[in-house]
Amino acid sequence: MPPGIGLYVHVPFCAIKCHYCDFACYTGLDSLMEPYVAALIAEMKCYEPCDVASIYLGGGTPSLLPPALLGRLLAAAHEHFLISPAAEVTLEVNPGTGAPGLWETALAGGVNRLSVGVQAFDDLELAAIGRDHTVRDVDRTICDVRAAGFHDVSLDLIYGLPDQSEPGWARTVAEALARGPEHFSVYSLQVEERTVFGARERAGDLPLPGEDAERGMHDHLDAALDCAGFRRYEISSWCRPGHESVHNRLYWHNRDYIGLGSGAHSYFQGRRYSHGRSVKAYLRDPQPRIPPDRQPRQEEMEETIFMGLRLVREGLSRERFAARFGSDVREFYAAEIDQLVALGMLEESPEALRLSRDAIPVANDVFAAFLR
């Protein structure tokens, strides 16, 4: 892992709100894009310049930004922070977005990785979850970004969608592989209360696949990607060799990151803090509210364990844990480790603790065992 912090930049603008989305993003606020970028730049200046290992522009839909605003934002980040020419810089992209000149501006500003929110390769499924793109839009966007010169493209997918069948999911996986990405981020559908799907679930009108079908989708995905040469390096992430997400691994190593923008979270110098979700409140005052006290040590240990275990191959490094907390993880959690090893949920070696293969789909149960 390279030295330096992660920099997350939240762009809250969307053309449409998807039925499953509970992120801090909004429609109808395009007129605020210019003042919002100015506020992001003002917030950057609240921090001392520091080394940055990765930048992630997420949202929302960062690819809705006009090229001039994206260029201004990236230039300001490079002017204020100490960003290596080799730093990973990721831009989230919704298929069908990207004004003329955006990809060229992104490349010129240092963006070298794209995360494309595909979600499904079936137009009926896309419409059913509230996406405003089609499979044709996906193909056009992938073609455009490859032609522009991007060589590190990640596709996002979701399984366990309403009325989704295992054969239908298998087709989506096959179609996704056929597009030749370097990375996949894949999640099971989580129904959040403040969403269209949340309201439908409360009304008894959300026909989700059962637990067995969802487990079948997970297992098919894992086998298909493994057969295609992708390595699962994190619970929700698969990649071709050499294409792990630096930014996400910073999170899983529980290292420092700064979150800029409305709704963004930070973990910096031992403190966790966040902005409220309101864009207009952020425009009035973009200054971060950094708490005076560090995070309690017990919470820091628990989070370090949870995040490290998400790295399914690497696992929780005992050496890094001991360097951070002064003792091996067994000094604090021997009983929990012994119980989970006996249950076949955890694998222990002198170097690391790792989730067993069977534990990956129920990882939250393993994490809960470390809570005190």
Q: Domain for residue 284, yes or no?
A: no
Span 144-154, pLDDT tens digits: 999 999 999 99
Residue 372, pLDDT score: 85
Q: Which of 186, 217, 252 is the last residue of a domain?
A: 252
Span 88-106, pLDDT tens digits: 999 999 999 999 999 999 9
Q: Domain for residue 23, yes or no?
A: yes
Residue 340, pLDDT score: 97
Q: Domain for residue 149, yes or no?
A: yes
- Say what percent of the chain tops pLDDT 70: 100
What is the residue range of 318's domain? 297-368
Q: Domain for residue 333, yes or no?
A: yes
Q: Going by C-beta distance under 8 Å and a sequence separation of 6 or more, which residues neighbour residue 143?
A: none
Alpha carbon distances (Å) from 105 to 31, 44, 112, 188, 197: 21, 21, 11, 33, 36
Span 228-282, pLDDT tens digits: 999 999 999 999 999 999 999 999 999 999 999 999 999 999 999 999 999 999 9
Together in a domain, 215 and 81 = yes
Together in a domain, 125 and 244 = yes
| Average pLDDT in the chain | 97
Whether residue 1 is predicted with pLDDT greater than 80 in this model: the reply is: no
Together in a domain, 155 and 218 = yes
Together in a domain, 307 and 239 = no
Together in a domain, 155 and 247 = yes
First-to-last alpha carbon distance for the chain, in angstroms, is 30
Q: Domain for residue 289, yes or no?
A: no
Together in a domain, 218 and 326 = no
Q: Going by C-beta distance under 8 Å and a sequence separation of 6 or more, which residues neighbour residue 257?
A: 5, 6, 7, 8, 250, 251, 266, 267, 268
Average pLDDT over residues 291-311: 96
Q: Total structural domains in the chain?
A: 2
Together in a domain, 82 and 182 = yes
CATH of the domain at 248: 3.20.20.70
Q: Domain for residue 41, yes or no?
A: yes
Residue 330: DSSP 8-state: H
Together in a domain, 194 and 314 = no
Span 58-78, pLDDT tens digits: 999 999 999 999 999 999 999
CATH of the domain at 318: 1.10.10.920
Q: Which of 229, 252, 275 is the last residue of a domain?
A: 252
Phi, psi values for residue 231, rounded to 5°: -105, 125
Of the pLDDT bands very low, low, confident and very high (cuts 50, 70, 90), residue 2 is: confident
